[in-house]
Amino acid sequence: MMNKRGIIFIFIGIIIGFSLNYTLLSKPTNLEAKIRELEETLLEREATITSLQNQINQLNSEITILNEEISKLKQQVEVEILGIYFSPKGGCEQQVIYWISRANSSIHILIYSFTSDSIGDALIEAHNRGIEIKIVFEKSQVSKYSEYFKLKAAGIEVRNDTNPKLMHHKVMIIDQIIILTGSYNWSYSAENKNNENLIIIKSKQIALIYEEEFQKIWSQSG
């Protein structure tokens, strides 16, 4: 028979073995729970990041729209008067020639009376350096003194207004940003005899409005 000491050792061994076995079995369960907890936390964080990213995208979109609106408003208020001139002999013709020489891409003109050789020559020079030039003349003012025929012979696109009434504009649009307008005709009388005015404006918004009028008349002219 086993003595008491042996029984005690066996009992202690059983308890230790049970404890070790429980510990080993419980560890995977605890780890799995911890993993699940961390995975849930990760999913929550990812959802938060996605939500924040959506908010950022929305804010960026709103910022873009606001910048576009600001740009449009700036164009409306960014109007610069480059000069106001009067005739007779107040420098109007000189200014017309100067701004023709400054053109980089396009010159669009609506003109009532155009007999100035100097302005005609300046337009031919601009045409020869590659500037797009389109001119609508008031038909009733196209005579042997008009620059119409000289400019047409030089290869410049010219048309006659077909309005049965008068096309009384005196407008030049340069590079879709500079506008020369006023009562001043491009003629000897306007430069040397008449009381006329010429204003020079820098504004994309105003140029756009004049350009729309030019295109309307140009498309209807022949």
Average pLDDT, integer, range 113-124: 97
152 is a catalytic site residue: no
Given the residues 152, 168, 202, 204, the one annotated as active site: 168
Residue 189 and residue 121 share a domain: yes
Q: According to the model, what pLDDT value does residue 52 have?
A: 87
Residue 105 and residue 208 share a domain: yes
Residue 160 and residue 110 share a domain: yes
pLDDT > 70 in the chain, percent:
86
Specify the number of domains making up the chain: 2
Given the residues 121, 175, 202, 204, the one annotated as active site: 175
Residue 192 and residue 98 share a domain: yes
Average pLDDT, integer, range 81-101: 97
Range of the domain at 109: 80-220
Final residue of a structural domain among 77, 108, 138: 77
Task: For 79-90, write each residue's pLDDT tens digit.
Answer: 899 999 999 999
On the question of pLDDT at 185 being above 80, the answer is: yes
C-alpha dihedral, 121 to 213 to 75 to 179, nearest 10°: 20
Given the residues 170, 193, 202, 216, the one annotated as active site: 170
Listed residue (87, 81, 108) closest to 170, CA to CA: 108
Average pLDDT, integer, range 159-164: 91
**CATH code: domain of residue 206:** 3.30.870.10
User: Is the pTM value of this prediction over 0.85?
Assistant: no
127 is a catalytic site residue: no
170 is a catalytic site residue: yes
| Exposure string for 5-36, b = 16+ CB within 10 A, e = fewer | eeeeeeeeeeeeeeeeeeeeeeeeeeeeeeee
